[in-house]
């Protein structure tokens, strides 16, 4: 056992555990619980980070970590990210646990039993752009698809737990997670069907092969429902399975707690999106996706819908979802038009363009102008600000903290 790695991890865990125990964390839990109960509060702010490209290498890349063992280095990175987020002063909650996942047993290739390989585009940085190679090239290929069964490798999970617990288990609780694979982006249908069929071909299918497309959508819907039900029957949904891209709290729901024991989907938040349908009309989005998502989403107590897609013309469609509580309002969206349609019935998750906020220079005048306009356009709606998809700070890590302070000054004014 690399003793130096253990020392590094224990020091970080101790610092983080102290922060997670501060009274401010309970204040933030109350804030988010009231906010998602559609009560009037101050505007919650999240400054997200840790995306896929430049940003991770700038601040949390391997070169900036001290642990040698990749396993410990992963948790070192996790803890440093959490500490960094706390120092930025936003309203994210530092929960008093670390999480390990009991691995899924893979008896097939990928989520759907077929290849989902990605071809990187030439002339761009690694990981920054690519194109999936569709596996369902003809409708006969649908017969090759296999739904993933919910099955966990408990022996592997025990080894992971023992390794982390032996290092820091006396300092901070270890939450053991067995949530099913078909949740989040893996369970929204939209993400997978665009990979399986190809985004351009998917659009053509809506016109040329609507019945075949409906059959594929129904297969995926039923597979996700069966997978999720098996996980629920096994007691593998817990309070920390809750997910809404913000802070998964609301009055009437149990506060998050590590190792809570079995819960139903009807006890927690669910997250769904349809980024691949951004350019699809509301009518076709409803017919060729939303109606198939509905039975999956309705299992949850509350649902957030949307990630990076503009939903400004689709609010009527979204109203069909009775447990909808939060809607993404993205940089491309008309905030005023979204606000008029939302009308205080749902929480607005406004996501400003990170390029205009912190990624391409930092101009407080520009930040204030954009945020002030969005707040004016939002009117009396219940709104929070979620700065996400931050790819770079151009080496200036102080920007996040300064951004949080400036935005808080603007919205509190």
pLDDT at 231: 98
Give me the number of domains the chain comprises: 1
Q: Which residues in 140-166 are b (16+ Cβ under 10 Å) and which e?
A: eebeebebbebebeeeebeebeebbbe
pLDDT number for residue 131? 82
Percent of the chain clearing pLDDT 90 (strictly above): 88
Q: What percent of the chain has pLDDT over 70?
A: 96
CA distance 331 to 314: 16
- Cα 86 from chain centroid? 19
d(CA 218, CA 241): 25
Number of separate helices (H) and strands (E) present in the chain: 15, 10
- Decide: 55 and 390 in contact? Cβ < 8 Å: yes
pLDDT at residue 351, as a whole number: 97
| pLDDT band at residue 61 under the 50/70/90 scheme | confident
64 band by pLDDT with thresholds 50, 70 and 90: confident
pLDDT (0 to 100) of residue 395: 86
Question: Burial of 291 by CB count in 10 Å (0-12 exposed, 13-18 middle, 19+ buried)?
Answer: middle
Q: Is the pLDDT of residue 372 over 70?
A: yes
Measured distance CA(246)–CA(195) in Å, rounded: 26
Q: CA-based Rg of the chain, rounded to a whole angstrom?
A: 22
Contact 132, 213 (CB under 8 A): no
d(CA 52, CA 242): 23
pLDDT in tens, 279-315: 999 999 999 999 999 999 999 999 999 999 999 999 9
- What's the Cα-to-Cα distance from 115 to each of 135, 180, 200, 302, rounded to whole Å? 6, 20, 18, 33
Give the range of the structural domain holding residue 340, as residue numbers without chain letter.
3-412
* CATH number for the domain that contains residue 123: 3.20.20.210
How many Cα atoms occupy the beta-carbon half-sphere of 75 within 13 Å? 28
User: Token pair for residue 324?
Assistant: 């909808």
**Is the pLDDT assigned to residue 153 strictly greater than 70?**
yes
pLDDT 10s digits, 97-133: 999 999 999 999 999 999 888 787 777 666 567 788 8
Contact 227, 201 (CB under 8 A): no
Give the whole-angstrom CA distance, residue 96 versus residue 103.
Answer: 22
Cβ proximity of 282 and 320 under 8 Å: no
Q: C-alpha distances in angstroms, 131 versus 190, 194, 201, 341, 384?
A: 16, 10, 13, 35, 33
Between CA 161 and CA 168, with CA 162 as vertex, the angle to 5 degrees is: 85
pTM for the model = 0.95
Q: What is the mean pLDDT of residues 14-27?
A: 98
Return d(Cα 43, Cα 250) in angstroms, integer. Answer: 15
**Over residues 235-255, mean pLDDT:** 97
pLDDT at 406 over 80: yes
CB 173 within 8 A of CB 154: no
Q: Would you state the pLDDT for residue 62?
A: 81
Q: How does residue 36 score in pLDDT terms, banded at 50, 70 and 90?
A: very high
Q: Say if residue 55's pLDDT is above 60.
A: no
| Average pLDDT score over the chain | 94
What pLDDT does residue 136 have?
95
DSSP 3-state of 82: helix
């Amino acid at each position: 056992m690399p003793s130096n790695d253990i020392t590094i991890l224990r020091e970080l865990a101790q610092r983080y555990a102290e922060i997670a125990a501060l009274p401010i964390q309970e204040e933030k839990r109350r804030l988010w619980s009231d906010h998602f109960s559609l009560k009037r509060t101050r505007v919650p702010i999240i400054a997200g980070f840790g995306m896929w490209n430049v940003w991770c290498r700038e601040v949390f890349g391997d070169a900036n970590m001290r642990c040698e063992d990749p396993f410990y280095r992963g948790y070192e990175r996790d803890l440093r990210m959490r500490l960094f987020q706390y120092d930025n002063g936003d309203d994210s909650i530092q929960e008093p646990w670390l999480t390990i996942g009991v691995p899924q047993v893979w008896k097939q290739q990928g989520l759907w039993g077929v290849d989902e390989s990605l071809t990187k585009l030439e002339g761009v940085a690694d990981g920054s752009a690519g194109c999936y190679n569709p596996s369902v090239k003809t409708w006969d290929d649908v017969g090759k698809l296999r739904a993933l069964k919910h099955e966990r490798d408990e022996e592997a999970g025990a080894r992971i737990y023992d390794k982390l617990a032996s290092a820091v288990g006396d300092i901070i609780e270890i939450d053991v997670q067995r949530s099913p694979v078909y949740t989040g982006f893996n369970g929204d249908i939209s993400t997978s069907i665009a990979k399986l069929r190809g985004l351009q071909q998917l659009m053509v299918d809506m016109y040329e092969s609507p019945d075949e497309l409906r059959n594929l959508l129904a297969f995926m819907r039923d597979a996700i429902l069966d997978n999720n039900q098996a996980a629920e029957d096994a007691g593998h949904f817990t309070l920390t399975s809750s997910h809404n891209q913000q802070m998964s709290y609301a009055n009437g729901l149990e506060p998050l707690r590590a190792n809570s024991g079995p819960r139903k989907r009807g006890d927690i938040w669910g997250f769904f999106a349809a980024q691949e349908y951004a350019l699809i009309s509301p009518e076709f989005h409803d017919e060729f996706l939303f109606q198939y998502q509905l039975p999956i989403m309705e299992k949850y107590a509350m649902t957030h819908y949307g990630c990076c897609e503009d939903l400004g013309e689709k609010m009527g469609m979204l109203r069909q979802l009775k447990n909808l509580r939060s809607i993404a309002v993205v940089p491309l969206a008309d905030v005023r038009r979204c606000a008029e349609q939302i009308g205080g019935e749902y929480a607005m998750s406004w996501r400003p363009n990170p390029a205009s906020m912190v990624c391409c220079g930092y101009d407080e005048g520009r930040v204030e102008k954009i945020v002030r306009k969005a707040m004016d356009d939002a009117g009396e709606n219940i709104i929070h600000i979620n700065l996400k998809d931050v790819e770079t700070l151009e080496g200036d890590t102080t920007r996040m903290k300064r951004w949080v302070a400036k935005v808080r000054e603007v919205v509190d004014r």
